[in-house]
Amino acid sequence: MSTAHSTGEGYDVLLVEDSRGDALLVNRAFEEGQAGTRLHVAVDGEAALAFLRQEGPHTAAPRPDLILLDLNLPGMDGREVLATIKADASLRRIPVVVLTSSQSEDDVRNCYNLHANAYMPKTSSFDGLISLTRAIRGYWLSAVKLPPK
């Protein structure tokens, strides 16, 4: 059973992912059963921060309810994006799920030290990524009560 979002208007999820293929798979998984979920994609760290701060072409961007963050991004990497989000009083309450191919124990430790809300390694298979995305959707957008926007 899904908990109602405080605005009753569904959920906005920001996916920060430079792989077009992974972004398409995540989008497909979200389309399969979470009515009212809007997935927004930023292809690098700078674009993610511009979206979150409503800068440049993102002046009308919604405040996301959840951020899915890849670590290995061109330019500003996911670790820097995470640190910036969690250091910003206006953004730090937005849950950040690190969704990455890195299995490094150092990355896991560092992300939690930077206050990531979860660390989920990507799988290499199509079905695995779909299953992982469904789990994220089910937990973060159904079971958890998210902070108000």
* 3-class SS string, 70-103: CCCCCCCCHHHHHHHHHHCCCCCCCCEEEEECCC
- For the whole model, what pTM was predicted? 0.91
What is the distance between the alpha carbons of residues 143 and 87, in angstroms, rounded to a whole number? Answer: 26
Structure tokens at 42: 């930023």
pLDDT at residue 18, rounded to an integer:
95
pLDDT at residue 35, rounded to an integer:
63
pLDDT at residue 1, rounded to an integer:
31
Mean pLDDT of the chain: 89
**Complete domains list, the chain, with CATH:** 11-142 (3.40.50.2300)
pLDDT at residue 112, rounded to an integer:
98
What is the distance between the alpha carbons of residues 115 and 57, in angstroms, rounded to a whole number? Answer: 28
pLDDT at residue 34, rounded to an integer:
58
Name, in order, each residue with C-beta under 8 angstroms of 86's C-beta and a sequence gap of 6 or more: 92, 96, 114, 115
pLDDT under 50 in the chain at which residues?
Answer: 1-7
Q: Which residue type, as a one-letter code, is found at position 113?
A: N
Rounded to a whole number of angstroms, the distance between the first and last alpha carbons of the chain is 21
Q: Which residues pair with 118 in a beta bridge?
A: 97
Which residue, chain included where needed, has tokens 């979150």?
52
pLDDT at residue 45, rounded to an integer:
97
What is the distance between the alpha carbons of residues 32 and 43, in angstroms, rounded to a whole number? Answer: 23
Q: Which residue type, as a one-letter code, is found at position 106?
A: D
What is the distance between the alpha carbons of residues 34 and 116, in angstroms, rounded to a whole number? Answer: 23
pLDDT at residue 27, rounded to an integer:
86
